[in-house]
Amino acid sequence: MKLLEDRILRDGVIVDGGILKVDMFLNHRLDIPLLDKLGEEFYRIFKGHPVDKILTIEASGIAIAALTARHFGVPAVFAKKAKPVTMRDDALHTSVYSFTKQKSYEVYVQRSFLTPGEHILIIDDFLAHGNAAEGLCDLAEAAGALVSGVGIAIEKHFQGGRERLQARGILVQSLAEIEKIENGQVIFLHQP
Amino acid sequence: MKLLEDRILRDGVIVDGGILKVDMFLNHRLDIPLLDKLGEEFYRIFKGHPVDKILTIEASGIAIAALTARHFGVPAVFAKKAKPVTMRDDALHTSVYSFTKQKSYEVYVQRSFLTPGEHILIIDDFLAHGNAAEGLCDLAEAAGALVSGVGIAIEKHFQGGRERLQARGILVQSLAEIEKIENGQVIFLHQP
């Protein structure tokens, strides 16, 4: 999606030799009109598939998931990184390894908020190694729900997440696919 | 706002003698069409005030802030509960005491994402003692920004948050104001 690629080139910042920061518009300061257009694009891509609910993970997935769900007219659920004191004991949970933070953390979803047989579209801001997306697939499948696909704003193609998801038979669609980050430059896949 | 009050009466759950859980539609499973209507209502209430940006706090404020920002056509920023490894050293931060969790936590905003002189509308899902909202006011003021108001989905009127904010001269508007929770029942202020 050219709009997003252009924005990454304009406002993305490469730090520590290879980490792309997009907190100027995607995951800290939120450019809401842009995120609404990304949601519209996810709708265009996935509208031929059954989608009863959007599933994401706190915190940086929530805004884009909410604005995508708006276009589908469906509810969204976000997995939580801590079990709230008020969450009932029958929470679904799974472990996700974060390469950025170099540690595993548990994510939780109230079991009743994912329904057996319903069709789930997973939305997240980034796909790298795929751990978070796989964790969300695990939660959906543990509930007996069906994953219609994974929609990602920015995919770091060189970190293998897509292959892991596709090996599970899951459709992956990204709005911006980064082939590599080299000499402080972002190179997109199939760049013109 | 009758739509929200009715939904609280229908789907809210009182646990532990007095905690209102609305994770069925507001802060875990997100009823996005409802949240978009709440955002529209915040726009109706605050459109006469200058609003350059929406400020909220992760995680449960993000969806409603994003859908409110959409109606204003402005960006949103959410304060983070942990300092990301990639956040620059000049982060604004303040301490917020959580009565639910019985402990204080730090919240962070990248300084450059709040601009001196700009007008901030603070949006959150709940107002109880007012600590989170006051923390967001502190961050805005530390940046030299001006708080146009605080918009709250559900206010627990009996916990004093409104008085603390109004003592600072801040306009508070809530979509559902709970006078008390008694015998497992939610009683709204000015209930017909």
A108-135 in b/e form (b: 16+ CB < 10 A) is bbbbebbeeebbbbbbbbbbbbbbbbbb
- For chain B, say whether A73 makes contact (Cβ under 8 Å): yes
In single-letter form, the type of residue at position A18 comes to G
Interface test with B, best of A86, A90, A125 (most B CBs within 10 A): A86
Q: How does pLDDT run across A3-43, given as a tens digit for each residue?
A: 999 999 999 999 887 889 999 999 999 999 999 999 999 99
pLDDT along chain B (192 residues), means of 10: 97 89 96 98 98 97 98 98 78 91 93 97 97 98 98 97 98 97 92 54
Which pLDDT band holds residue A99 (cuts at 50, 70, 90)? Answer: confident
The whole-number pLDDT of residue A39 equals: 98
Contact list in B for residue A84 (CB cut-off 8 A) is 23, 28
Residue B73 burial class via C-beta count within 10 angstroms: exposed 0-12, middle 13-18, buried 19 and up: exposed
H or E stretch including A148?
strand A146-156
Q: Which residue in A66, A77, A73 sits closest to A38, CA to CA? A: A66
CA distance A73 to B32: 7
Joined tokens for residue B40: 């529209």
CA distance B113 to B7: 34
Give the mean model confidence (pLDDT) for residues A112-141.
Answer: 97
**pTM listed for this prediction:** 0.96
- For chain B, say whether A187 makes contact (Cβ under 8 Å): no
Sequential DSSP letters for A159-171: GSHHHHHHHTT--
Backbone angles phi, psi at A13, to 5 degrees: -125, 130
Backbone angles phi, psi at A92, to 5 degrees: -80, 140
- Is A30–B77 a contact, with Cβ atoms under 8 angstroms apart? yes
Check whether A192 has a pLDDT greater than 60: no
Residue A100: closest C-alpha in chain B: B85
Which residue, chain included where needed, has tokens 């000499």? A183
The packing angle between helices A62-72 and A32-46, to 10°, is: 50
